[in-house]
Amino acid sequence: MRYISTRGAAPALDFEGVTLAGLANDGGLYVPEAWPSLSRDDIAGLAGLSYAETAVRIMAPFVGDSLTSDELRALCEEAYGRFDHAAVTPLTQLDGQHWLMELFHGPTLAFKDVALQLLGLLFERFLSNRDTHLTVVGATSGDTGSAAIDALAGRAKVDVFMLHPLGRVSDVQRRQMTTVLSPNVHNIAIQGSFDDAQAIVKGLFADRDFATRFDLSAVNSINWARLMAQIVYYFYAAVRLGAPERAVAFSVPTGNFGDVFAGYAAARMGLPVARLIVATNVNDILHRAIAEGDYSVGQVTPTAAPSMDIQVSSNFERLLFELHARDGAALAATMGGFETSRALRLTDAMRGQASGLFSSARIDEDGMAMAMRWAFERAAELIDPHTAIGLAAAREAGLARNVPVVTLATAHPAKFRDAVERATGVRPSLPARFAGLFDREERFTTLPATREAIRDYVAGHAVERV
Ligand SMILES: Cc1ncc(COP(=O)(O)O)c(C=O)c1O
Ligand SMILES: N[C@@H](CCOP(=O)(O)O)C(=O)O
C-alpha cells in the first residue's frame, strides 16, 4: 500500500513512512492511494472474531509490507490487551434503535486510546532498526494529549511535546497529562485555543528545516495510522449488529473530523453504512459545511464538551480531497484560498456527493444536558457531554426504525464529572486505578500561543538529528 498527499506534491510513502512522517511535507495529509475493498464474505467472516483479530483483518491491507501479519497481530494483541473490557469496544443497547459503542475502556478513558496504544507500539517497532530519535509535537483539547502521553511516556527514542489550551480542558484531562513526569514528556499550556495549538503544530511541520533537524512526527489524527486504527471499530460494531446483511448508522461526536472520517473509510471499504451523522456542539463549522456548504471559521466558544471546541478540523481536508475527485493540485489551490480567507464554500455537486452518506446536527448545551438525562433515566447509563452530543444528534436524525443507530461514546463520564453531575445529579467516579490523581505533582510550562515561542522551547529540549 502506498500513500499520497492530499495536496499532490509530497513523495508517496509506504505505511512505515507515513507513520513516522505524520504530516506530508507539502502541508497535505496522507491518504491511501486506493481504498482496499472487503467483499460481503470477508465482512461476514469477521463475525465472532476478537477485537485484536478484527483489527488485523481490517488493517493488514493498509500496513502492506511494513509488517508481517504475525508482527501486526502481536502489536494488536499487546495494544488491546491493555483495555479493561474483554470486548475492547463493547456495545450497550439504549432502546429498540439506539446503541452506544463504548470507546473509553483504554488506559486514559477516551477513544483516542484505541489508536494511540497501537501507534506507540508502531513507533517503537519502526524506530527499533533506525538511528532516529522522533520529536512528536501534538495539539490537544484534552484527550489526545493524555492518550499519547500514556502511549509514549518512557519510550527511549521519542520525545513528546504536547500543547493544550490553558484553562480549557477538564481538571481530570489536565492532570492525566501533567502528572506524568517522565523526562521524555513535555506538557505545554498555551495562552490560546486548541485551534491556535493545531495551527502552531502545522506551522512547525511547514518549517522544513526545523522538521528535518528534529525529526518531527505527529500523534494527532493528521497521522494516517491514527485513522486506520479507528476504522476497525466501525466494522466490529456493525458486524455485531448484523452487517453485511443489515446497514448500520453511526452518530459521531465530531471536532477534528478524524473519527467520522474513519467511518467514511469503512464505508469506502465496503461496510454497509446507512448514515454517518456528524454531531457538533455550538462550534458548528462542520454542521454548517455539511448542511449548507459553508465552511467558514468563527470564534471558538468554550463548552462543556471541550474536546470538540474546534473550528478548523484538520481531517476535513481528507474529505475535501475525495470531493475534489482526488485531484491534489486542485485541493492545494482550495486550501491555499482557505488559509488566506478562513472560509470556503462547497459546490452543490460536492454537497450532493457528501449528503449521500453524511448528515449533521448542531447540539447546544441544553440539548446535550437533555441527552445525558435521557440516557440516565431511560437506560441507567451515565454518558459524557461529547457522547451526549452524538446521542442527541442520533435521536433527532429521523432514521427509519429498522436501522440500528450506534452513537460513539468517546469518553468516560468521569472525565467530565462536573458537567455530568450538573445534568443528572450523579457524580461519576473515576476507576480505582486513578486514585491519587488529584494528589500527584503536576508539571507543565505555560507559553504564549506563538509559533516562535513553541519552536524555541522545542529546540531547547528536543534531540537534534546528528
Ligand atoms: C471525547 C471526544 N469526543 C469527540 C472528539 C472529536 O473527535 P474528532 O476530533 O475525531 O472529530 C474528541 C476529540 O477529538 C474527543 O476527545
Ligand atoms: N479532541 C482532540 C483534539 C485533537 O484531535 P486529534 O484526533 O486530531 O488528535 C483532543 O482531545 O485532543
pLDDT in tens, 300-324: 999 999 999 999 999 999 999 999 9
Residue 307 near ligand 2, beta carbon < 6 Å: yes
- Closest protein CA for atom 11 of ligand 2: 143
In which order are the strands placed within the sheet that holds 98-102?
Answer: 91-93, 98-102, 405-409, 248-253, 273-280, 358-362
Distance CA 50, CA 73 (A): 11
Q: Which atom of ligand 2 is nearest to the CA of 219?
A: 9
- Closest protein CA for atom 7 of ligand 2: 221
Q: Which atom of ligand 1 is nearest to the CA of 258?
A: 10
Positions marked catalytic: 112
Residue 6 near ligand 1, beta carbon < 6 Å: no
Residue 95 C-alpha to ligand 2 middle, in angstroms?
A: 30
pLDDT tens-digit readout, 19-56: 999 999 999 999 999 999 999 999 999 999 999 999 99
pLDDT tens-digit readout, 218-249: 999 999 999 999 999 999 999 999 999 999 99
**Mean pLDDT score of the chain:** 97
Interface predicted TM-score (ipTM) of this complex, two decimals: 0.99
> Which residue of 111, 176, 316, 317 sits with most ligand 1 atoms within 8 Å of its CB, as the best mutation to test the pocket?
111
Proximal ligand: closest to the CA of 280: 1
pLDDT at residue 399, rounded to an integer? 97
Residue 409 near ligand 1, beta carbon < 6 Å: no
Whether the Cβ atoms of residue 279 and residue 392 lie closer than 8 Å to each other: yes
Say which CATH architecture domain 91-109+224-424 belongs to: 3-Layer(aba) Sandwich (3.40)
Q: How would residue 466 be classed by pLDDT, with cut points 50, 70 and 90?
A: confident
Q: Is the pLDDT of residue 140 over 90?
A: yes
pLDDT at residue 47, rounded to an integer? 98
> Which residue of 254, 286, 313, 315 sits with most ligand 1 atoms within 8 Å of its CB, as the best mutation to test the pocket?
254
Residue 258 C-alpha to ligand 2 middle, in angstroms?
A: 8
Q: Where are the alpha helices (DSSP H) in 308-364?
A: 316-323, 328-341, 348-355
- Closest protein CA for atom 1 of ligand 2: 307
Q: Which atom of ligand 2 is nearest to the CA of 258?
A: 7
For the chain, which residues make up each domain, given as ranges? 91-109+224-424
Residue 282 C-alpha to ligand 1 middle, in angstroms?
A: 14
Q: Quote the percentage of the chain above a pLDDT of 70.
A: 100
Mean pLDDT value across residues 191-202: 96
Q: How would residue 281 be classed by pLDDT, with cut points 50, 70 and 90?
A: very high
> Which residue of 307, 313, 316, 408 sits with most ligand 2 atoms within 8 Å of its CB, as the best mutation to test the pocket?
307
63 closest CA partner among 234, 232, 217, 315: 232
Distance CA 328, CA 310 (A): 25
Distance CA 264, CA 258 (A): 10
